[in-house]
Chains A and B, each alone.
Chain A
Amino acid sequence: MRITVKGITFSYNSAPILDNVNFSLESGQILSILGPNGSGKTTLLKVLASILSPKNGAVFLDGKNLAEISLSGKAKIIGYVPQRSEGFNTSVFEAVLSGRKPHVHFRIKKEDIQITERVINVMGLSHLKSKSIMRISGGEFQKVIIARALAQNPKVLLLDEPLTYLDIKNQFEMASLISKATKELHLITVFVLHDINLALRYSDVFLFLKEGRIEAFGGKEIISSEIIMKVFGIDVEIKEMMGSPYVLIKNG
């Protein structure tokens, strides 16, 4: 599968939040969208998820305009994890199972239950299955939300700051799990991340966004202190660590 973003512009009133955004991704790739607060990262993700419709331009899935695919058709392809999720009193199992909605009419089939179970196991939530999602930790809750999106069996996985509420260990576990899933299931994964080093370690492609415009797009080779200075306005040094670039913030 290939996702192509062509000339996307989005605005609520006059000031554009996204301004002529173009890029494309293929199955098996992980993209990190990087940029300061208010640069349009979440908006871009919502346009990709078809939650928001762009003012101009379009998103194409294998050449097909996303706007022309039915809501239920899109739901079978795109999984979405929002920045903040509302909880309600339901069990972990049923919460993850609700990700099967696009594939369920009224009756829940054996297949839905098996997929739910598999995802729960992979996410390390088995011991919490019958617990209410209101009575688990913030990190566990976030895992449930990611598990729900995976239970959807998506081909495109969109995650808005999915690691924010996790501790360091869980951040790395979750990031490597998502990266593994992307490679094994040939997903297209798009992250919005704040931690550049986590992004560098777990993604193949990077998109720097500033004031709704793409400042840079490409592989690890585009990471430089200049681009980080330009986008974030912060002085950094790029080191090489275990064959991967690593961003160190300079003092003063």
Chain B
Amino acid sequence: MSHISYDFYESLIKRKKRVFSILLLIFAVFFFIFLATGSYRTDILSVFSTILGKEHGTISHILWQIRIPRLLGATLAGAGLGLSGCVLQNVLKNPLVSPFTLGLSQGAAFGASFAIIVLGAGLQHKTGEGITVFSYYPVVICAFIGSLFSISLIFVVSSLKGATREVVVLAGIAISAFFSALTMFIQYFAEDVQVAASVFWTFGDIGKATWKNIPLIAFFVVGGFLYLLTRSNDLNVIKWGDDVAKTLGVKAKSIRMQVFLITAMVTSIITSFLGIIAFVGLIAPHIGRLFVGEDERFLIPVSTVIGSLILVLSDMLARKIIAPNVLPVGIITSFFGAPFFLYLLVRSRDANHS
């Protein structure tokens, strides 16, 4: 009998592993398609030979200086947002939350704007590719403080007695509005050039990914991912509630704090460099759950890959729609993400009433 059951569990796990492998494969395919698309026409074969170092000249320059940083930026930002959305939905037991719907992104955006305009941290200069922000650290640190502020408020609201899922999301909306107002406030008093810079910068745009900021984004996204993956069994257990988690040896409060801290860090690093990218963190875990269920050992990596996939595809779309011009990807993700959010809201209402 126990032999049969071992097969049962094995096949369950095997199926989830297969789903993950297929997702990685799909991602790999789009990885190369991404590199082959753009206003400068090229095909996948020359992409391969360029990466292998066999081709030089224009194509090599375009790939290494524009498309590859852009692709890595989309991959990392999508991964970080998918990861953050997944673990936030877990610890708050709320399918409606994500870095954007909780106001973490807007808190980070305000922090970064503050650093650029008030502290004069980001000495801007215009280049052919857009605006580059120098002296990263004040921007990143202020962004982190902004998103920490948001998540602390969310923590307080969610621990109030009788705080429903919707109350938490409404609090997130209030926090977003508050930070958006603050951002506009400092923009109002800023000089024209700074306003232009800051407005342009607030748009979520992958084009701002460069070889300079990618390593820093990668450090936090990969680090956060690996750490949370080691905590996945704890995250599985806290879904039973704090009391039961404690009797299973897990301090739910401490796990929740760790998740808040890590998601604030990951979100603020992405937002500081690429701007606000909405809804990727909300959608990715929902798609992930359809494939692998609630087991965080699989849901975390799957949501992360799906987040990357969503952002890579969205950015391809952003480059296609008004080619040769490029739309900020934040517009695309909001365009598709907002209706999905509404759908979740309506569905969650149904669940509350049944």
| Chain A residues whose C-beta falls within 8 Å of the C-beta of B297 in the assembled complex | 106
Q: B9 — nearest CB in chain A belongs to which residue?
A: A113
| Chain B residues whose C-beta falls within 8 Å of the C-beta of A93 in the assembled complex | 8-9, 12
**Known contacts A93-B12, A114-B5, A117-B2; is A85 also within 8 Å of B244 by CB?**
yes
**A104 contacts partner chain B, Cβ-Cβ < 8 Å:** yes
Does A80 lie within 8 Å of B293, measured CB to CB?
no
| Chain A residues whose C-beta falls within 8 Å of the C-beta of B237 in the assembled complex | 98, 101
Does B9 lie within 8 Å of A86, measured CB to CB?
no
**A12 contacts partner chain B, Cβ-Cβ < 8 Å:** no
| Nearest CB on B from A90, distance (A) | 5
| Nearest CB on A from B57, distance (A) | 48
| Nearest CB on A from B349, distance (A) | 18
Q: B249 — nearest CB in chain A belongs to which residue?
A: A75
**B241 contacts partner chain A, Cβ-Cβ < 8 Å:** yes
| Nearest CB on A from B126, distance (A) | 49
Does B2 lie within 8 Å of A51, measured CB to CB?
no
Does A86 lie within 8 Å of B247, measured CB to CB?
no
| Chain A residues whose C-beta falls within 8 Å of the C-beta of B233 in the assembled complex | 101, 104-106
Does B247 lie within 8 Å of A113, measured CB to CB?
no
**Known contacts A89-B293, A98-B248; is A80 also within 8 Å of B243 by CB?**
yes
**A40 contacts partner chain B, Cβ-Cβ < 8 Å:** no
**A82 contacts partner chain B, Cβ-Cβ < 8 Å:** yes
- Type the 1/0 row for B233-266, where 1 means its CB is closer than 8 Å to any CB of A: 1001101110110111111000000000000000
| Chain A residues whose C-beta falls within 8 Å of the C-beta of B240 in the assembled complex | 85-86, 98
Q: Interface size on A (CB < 8 Å)?
A: 41
**B6 contacts partner chain A, Cβ-Cβ < 8 Å:** yes
Complex CA gap A251/B161 in Å reads: 41
Residue from A85, A98, A130 in contact with B8 in the complex, judged by beta carbons closer than 8 Å: A130
Does A50 lie within 8 Å of B6, measured CB to CB?
no
Complex CA gap A216/B86 in Å reads: 50
Complex CA gap A225/B93 in Å reads: 47
| Chain B residues whose C-beta falls within 8 Å of the C-beta of A28 in the assembled complex | none
**A118 contacts partner chain B, Cβ-Cβ < 8 Å:** yes
Does A113 lie within 8 Å of B295, measured CB to CB?
no
Does B243 lie within 8 Å of A86, measured CB to CB?
no
Does A51 lie within 8 Å of B239, measured CB to CB?
no
| Nearest CB on A from B154, distance (A) | 20
**Interface of chain A residues 94 through 117 with chain B (CB within 8 A):** 94, 97-99, 101-102, 104-106, 108, 110, 113-114, 116-117
Does A101 lie within 8 Å of B249, measured CB to CB?
yes
Q: B239 — nearest CB in chain A belongs to which residue?
A: A88
**A72 contacts partner chain B, Cβ-Cβ < 8 Å:** yes
| Nearest CB on B from A158, distance (A) | 8
- Type the 1/0 row for B328-342, where 1 means its CB is closer than 8 Å to any CB of A: 000000000000000
**A162 contacts partner chain B, Cβ-Cβ < 8 Å:** no
Q: Interface size on B (CB < 8 Å)?
A: 29
Complex CA gap A113/B289 in Å reads: 23
Complex CA gap A101/B93 in Å reads: 20
| Chain B residues whose C-beta falls within 8 Å of the C-beta of A102 in the assembled complex | 248-249
| Chain A residues whose C-beta falls within 8 Å of the C-beta of B2 in the assembled complex | 113-114, 117-118
**B1 contacts partner chain A, Cβ-Cβ < 8 Å:** yes
Complex CA gap A200/B93 in Å reads: 39
| Chain B residues whose C-beta falls within 8 Å of the C-beta of A244 in the assembled complex | none
Does A114 lie within 8 Å of B6, measured CB to CB?
yes
**Interface of chain B residues 196 through 250 with chain A (CB within 8 A):** 230, 232-233, 236-237, 239-241, 243-244, 246-250
| Chain A residues whose C-beta falls within 8 Å of the C-beta of B247 in the assembled complex | 49-51, 74-75, 78-80
**A136 contacts partner chain B, Cβ-Cβ < 8 Å:** no
**Interface of chain B residues 288 through 329 with chain A (CB within 8 A):** 289, 293-295, 297
Residue from B1, B250, B294 in contact with A101 in the complex, judged by beta carbons closer than 8 Å: B250
Q: A46 — nearest CB in chain B belongs to which residue?
A: B243
Complex CA gap A78/B248 in Å reads: 8
Complex CA gap A99/B8 in Å reads: 18
**Interface of chain B residues 72 through 102 with chain A (CB within 8 A):** 93
**A121 contacts partner chain B, Cβ-Cβ < 8 Å:** yes
Does A113 lie within 8 Å of B5, measured CB to CB?
yes
Residue from A85, A113, A129 in contact with B6 in the complex, judged by beta carbons closer than 8 Å: A113
**Known contacts A98-B240, A110-B6; is A71 also within 8 Å of B12 by CB?**
no
**A11 contacts partner chain B, Cβ-Cβ < 8 Å:** no
Q: A112 — nearest CB in chain B belongs to which residue?
A: B9
Complex CA gap A106/B235 in Å reads: 12
Complex CA gap A102/B236 in Å reads: 13
26 A-B residue contacts at CB 8 Å? A46-B243, A51-B246, A72-B249, A74-B247, A79-B247, A82-B243, A85-B240, A85-B244, A86-B240, A86-B241, A89-B294, A90-B293, A91-B293, A93-B12, A97-B9, A98-B236, A98-B240, A101-B249, A106-B233, A106-B297, A113-B2, A113-B9, A117-B1, A120-B5, A121-B1, A130-B12
Given A75-B248, A114-B5, list of 11 further CB < 8 A pairs? A46-B243, A49-B246, A72-B249, A88-B93, A93-B12, A101-B249, A104-B233, A105-B233, A116-B9, A120-B5, A130-B8
A-B pairs, top 3 by smallest CB distance, nearest first, are A75-B249, A117-B5, A80-B247
